[in-house]
Amino acid sequence: MKFDYDLFVIGGGSGGVRAARITASETDACVALAEEDRYGGTCVIRGCVPKKLMVFASEVSHAIPEARCYGWDINEARFDWDIFHGKLDAELDRLENVYRKLLEGSGVTTFDQRARVIGPHTIELSDGQQKTAQNILIAVGGSPVLPHIDGIQHALTSNDMFHFKSLPKSILIVGGGYIACEFAGIMNGLGVKTTQYFRADQILRGFDDEARGIIADEMGKRGIDLQAGMNVTKIEKIPEGVKVTNSKGEELEVAAIMFATGRSPNTKGLIADGVGVEIGTKGQIVVDAYSQTSVPSIYALGDVTDRVNLTPVAIFEAMCFIATVFRGVPTPVDHALIPTAVFTQPEIGTVGLSEELAAARESIEVYSAKFRVMRHSFAGKEDTSLLKLIVSTKTRKILGAHLIAPQAGEMIQLLGIAIKMGATKEDLDCTMAVHPTISEELVTMRTPTRKT
């Protein structure tokens, strides 16, 4: 059978675009891609990129008092949301155009409309056109979900946080994960009175306990009102914003409320009945280690598979897909030891196992250092930083690393390479330190803080 395309990609986010353009530019394949919204997907348009730019903007408010301690005469500082927001929109437009040009330059045929799978090799576009492909790749990502409570229509999600006409004077953020914590830091840093509710007894479930405790303490020091074991039962619209009733029966009036309590794969209406693609209990597309679905010609990657929902993971999965399907080199996706950063304030970088998970598996040594970094100490700031290594007593391999410090994300990226290669504690011990730096502590810690 002759197909219209060798590969048809549904979804123009980071993973889908990478798969389409590399396949088209580096193989002889004929490739098409359909995207119903903006190119760049969640990360570029409504996630990582605009969020990180907002982090940069919000951090300035903490840097100004520090600058005064270094001798800078700064009498007045005022944040102008209109100026920042205009530049943010322009930057996102620029990045979307970059994605479009990358696809065009690679020879990918694009369709700016919704597509759905109606057969093992057939795609139907929203205008009624049907296209065939030898292989179909689904990379449509996920979306925020809202709980079913009274008045939920008055709530925002993370998608809405980049589109304020003017900044609210106060905000309640509901959730304890990294999206909620990052936006709490952003809003607080921009001068918005910020409260955060979360159901658990601590934020950042799944992260190292010691690290998440420090992050919570530091967020509190910066003025964020963290309330554990708390949820929202009702929302009412009022002239000044919303009135919220919490799980203790208390009422709180804020200008805005945002929920960051979960995301769901975008599979609704995506695949016609009878195609045979297995869908999991959370709505995710079930795939094997090669990102192949239960239908051999259909693959899926990124957040729509609900494996590890991070942009670099989707890009990595795309490269494995290309190697497997178009280069004849079967390449399973290795999801172990993924370095990641959470752009809370302060920032956290982590790779590998938490102390709790590692101790449950084997005998370990913990090496850690808590301190005030030189820059903050000189300015009289009390910010706590942490560098922590989890080491196997038996193999001496580093099982996990957890960093809380300025530029922790940059440090964990580089440390992640060594840990992925199987670095031992002794490998770090015989590495010369760069002085004076924060990261030199990673190669100078000699005595275990504790053993389990």
Active site residues: 435
Phi, psi dihedrals of residue 450, rounded to the nearest 5°: -165, 160
Give the Cβ contact number of residue 72 at 10 Å. Answer: 10
In the block, which residue shows the tokens 């694009």?
A: 110
The SS3 of residue 103 is helix
Beta-strand pair 364-371/263-265: unpaired
Residue 447 DSSP one-character state: S
Find out whether 298 and 318 touch, Cβ atoms under 8 Å: no
Long-range contacts of 374-378 (CB under 8 A, 24+ apart): 374/436, 375/66, 375/406, 376/66, 378/69, 378/70
Total residues belonging to the chain: 452
CA 408 from centroid of its chain's CA atoms: 15
**CA distance linking residue 288 with residue 404, whole number of Å:** 35
Residue 165 DSSP one-character state: S
Find out whether 279 and 300 touch, Cβ atoms under 8 Å: no
Find out whether 176 and 198 touch, Cβ atoms under 8 Å: yes
Tokens of 291: 């990102």
* 346 preceded by a cis bond (ω within 30 of 0): yes
Q: What is the DSSP string of 215-268?
A: HHHHHHHTT-EEEET--EEEEEEETTEEEEEETTS-EEEESEEEE-S-EEES-T
Q: Which DSSP helix (H) or strand (E) runs through 15?
A: helix 14-26
Beta-strand pair 398-404/385-392: antiparallel
**CA distance linking residue 371 with residue 369, whole number of Å:** 6
